[in-house]
Amino acid sequence: MNAFAAVDLGASSGRVMSARVGEGVLELTEVRRFTNRPVRAAGTLYWDILGLYGNVLDGLKAAGPHLTSVGIDSWAVDYGLLDRSGVLLGNPVHYRDARTDGVMERVRAELGDDHLYDVAGLQFLPFNTIYQLLAARADVDGAQTLLLIPDLLAYWLTGRIGAELTNASTTGLLDVRTRTWSAALLDRLGLPERLFPELREPGEVIGPLRPDVAAETGLPGDLPVTAVASHDTASAVAAVPARDERFAYVSCGTWSLVGVELPGPVLSEAGRKANFTNEVGVDGTIRYLRNVMGLWLLQESMRAWGDPDLPALLEAAAEVPPFQAVVNPDAPEFLPPGDMPARIADHCRATGQRPPATQAETVRCIMDSLALGHRAAVRQAMELSGRQVDVVHLVGGGSRNALLCQLTADACGLPVVAGPVEATTLGNVLVQARAFGVVKDLAEMRELVAATQPLRRYEPAGDEHAWAAAASRVGLA
Ligand code: LFR
């Protein structure tokens, strides 16, 4: 039986898992879990990249020594810059940092939405790599190489430089038709081509461990690091236990990524105006989706409240009557870190609603609002792509949240199949397993997930009129 190690870094926690994969077998063991705590220093919000890497090394040491390969995925868009000798220049900045304020608006006005979208097919999010780079142009001038977070960790493990394709597609600088860096766009923006390394496909072996890494971790020096779908959402969607193509997905964690899987990009004006994105997945698939603010709204509220007992709070929220107050979860004021309950209350007041009065009411407001966000994105994904959908697969940490799963089924008027919780890690592992001949293709990967992982089905039981009315209250109809 083959054993694979998966490093999966999310916005609030990271983990190293080991997995046994074989005929009818897909078993994950958590080797190490650690918090990912952003740090603000001199006004800038950073990722603690060396702390994360230290945890990755400790996790790999604990996962070894009998591994076939190692794969790394993380959140998208963020990067480190290297100098000519390969040394990291400065600490990677968090995508929620304010340095990009106003940059996207400027670039859109200068280059035009239609041009940007026609090349990259990417939704307009203020933190896309393209806008971060323009906000940090001075750093760029002194840099030789840009590595997205998983590529940076892979570089530290192996010494090999490259850019994995699925994550590269979130930068805003990849041509989504040719799947190469857009020389035209780089030229227009005055960004040097030298920064952007050669692209690698998920499933390509990156290289063996550096000798010093092997020595430090006690792992064999010939252990390969394999490129997976290194954008966490690409990995999660690869592990959706769908039986055919008639599905939508909600990859639900800090973000809810909501859409359908297509054989190629949709670059229509209607899709651009609805801010739908075309992100690259495994085997040339496209994730046609929109970012919904996701459980960030809950996570930031919990932080503001000093982390009370979540299961008890969700139980209380389930007892609160629906739609007392709802917000548009994607309102830009919810994006940065800070007092979330206060911002939700302000949003309610500004839209003529009584703000939630208790923690349970705030949580209910968040759950109803997220379900409304899921509903709008599922419906638009179907309309804009023409894809018929029979079921919504809700994967990731949010699949544990029974209230959110039921509300999503009710809001969408479709059954929700919830799970697996660890979809991202499973997708990471399965792309490695395929690279080493253990599974055949995407369909077989998904069959193995469906056959081995606990899933729970929620039937829709909502009142469509009530959902439609709530949706129009927040402009999500
Ligand atoms: C999810 C995710 C989203 C991306 C956001 C920022 O973890 O990767 O797909 O839009 O984080 O990178």
pLDDT at 477: 77
Q: What is the pTM of this model?
A: 0.98
Find out whether the beta carbon of 143 lies less than 6 Å from any atom of ligand 1.
Answer: no
Whether 219 shows a pLDDT value over 80: the answer reads yes
Dihedral sign for Cα 419, 422, 423, 427, please. negative
For the CA atoms of 236, 240, 244, 245, the dihedral, rounded to the nearest 10 degrees, stands at -40
Domain at 2-230, CATH from 3.30.420.40, 3.30.70.20, 3.40.50.300, 3.30.428.10 = 3.30.420.40
232 is catalytic: yes
Q: How far is CA 345 from CA 114, 326, 354, in A?
A: 36, 10, 8
153-174 average pLDDT score: 98
- Summarize pLDDT for 297-313 with one digit per residue, the tens: 999 999 999 999 999 99
Find out whether the beta carbon of 255 lies less than 6 Å from any atom of ligand 1.
Answer: yes
Closest-CA residue to 442 (of 247, 259, 310)? 247
Domain ranges of the chain: 2-230, 232-419+455-476
Residue to mutate (ligand 1; options 36, 79, 232; most atoms within 8 A of CB): 232
Q: Residue 304 Cα, ligand 1 centroid: separation in angstroms? A: 22
Whether 396 shows a pLDDT value over 80: the answer reads yes
Q: What percent of the chain has pLDDT over 70?
A: 100
Q: What percent of the chain has pLDDT over 90?
A: 98
pLDDT category of residue 459 using cuts at 50, 70 and 90: very high
Rg (CA), the chain: 21
- Summarize pLDDT for 119-137 with one digit per residue, the tens: 999 999 999 999 999 999 9
Find out whether the beta carbon of 77 lies less than 6 Å from any atom of ligand 1.
Answer: yes
Across the chain, mean pLDDT equals: 97
pLDDT at 30: 98
pLDDT at 215: 97
Question: Helix %, strand %, coil % for the chain, to 5?
Answer: 40, 20, 35
Choosing from 8, 73, 232, 330, which is the catalytic residue?
Answer: 232
Find out whether the beta carbon of 251 lies less than 6 Å from any atom of ligand 1.
Answer: no
State how far the Cα of 264 lies from the Cα of 120, in Å rounded to an integer. Answer: 13
State how far the Cα of 242 lies from the Cα of 252, in Å rounded to an integer. Answer: 16
- Summarize pLDDT for 43-85 with one digit per residue, the tens: 999 999 999 999 999 999 999 999 999 999 999 999 999 999 9
> Identity (one letter) of the amino acid at 414?
L
Token pair of 421 as six digits? 């919780």
Residue to mutate (ligand 1; options 15, 233, 249; most atoms within 8 A of CB): 233
- Summarize pLDDT for 461-472 with one digit per residue, the tens: 989 999 999 999
Q: Residue 255 Cα, ligand 1 centroid: separation in angstroms? A: 7
CATH for 232-419+455-476 is 3.30.420.40
pLDDT at 462: 86
Q: Residue 113 Cα, ligand 1 centroid: separation in angstroms? A: 21
Query: Which distant-in-sequence residues (6+ apart) come within 8 Å of 384 by Cβ?
Result: 266, 268, 270, 271, 274, 276, 288
Find out whether the beta carbon of 75 lies less than 6 Å from any atom of ligand 1.
Answer: yes
**Residue in the block written with tokens 């039921």:** 406
CB 151 within 8 A of CB 163: yes
State how far the Cα of 70 lies from the Cα of 209, in Å rounded to an integer. Answer: 10
Dihedral sign for Cα 165, 167, 170, 172, please. negative
Q: What angle do CA 377, 350, 378 make, to 5 degrees?
A: 5
Q: Residue 243 Cα, ligand 1 centroid: separation in angstroms? A: 25
Fold equal for 2-230 and 232-419+455-476: yes
Token pair of 250 as six digits? 């909600």
- Summarize pLDDT for 322-364 with one digit per residue, the tens: 999 999 999 999 999 999 999 999 999 999 999 999 999 999 9
Q: What is the DSSP letter of 94?
A: P
Q: Residue 291 Cα, ligand 1 centroid: separation in angstroms? A: 8
Query: Which residue puts its alpha carbon closest to atom 7 of ligand 1?
Result: 75
Residue to mutate (ligand 1; options 164, 291, 295; most atoms within 8 A of CB): 291
pLDDT category of residue 101 using cuts at 50, 70 and 90: very high
Using the atom order of ligand 1, give the atom closest to the CA of residue 11. 7
Whether 294 shows a pLDDT value over 90: the answer reads yes
Query: Which residue puts its alpha carbon closest to atom 1 of ligand 1?
Result: 75
Using the atom order of ligand 1, give the atom closest to the CA of residue 251. 1
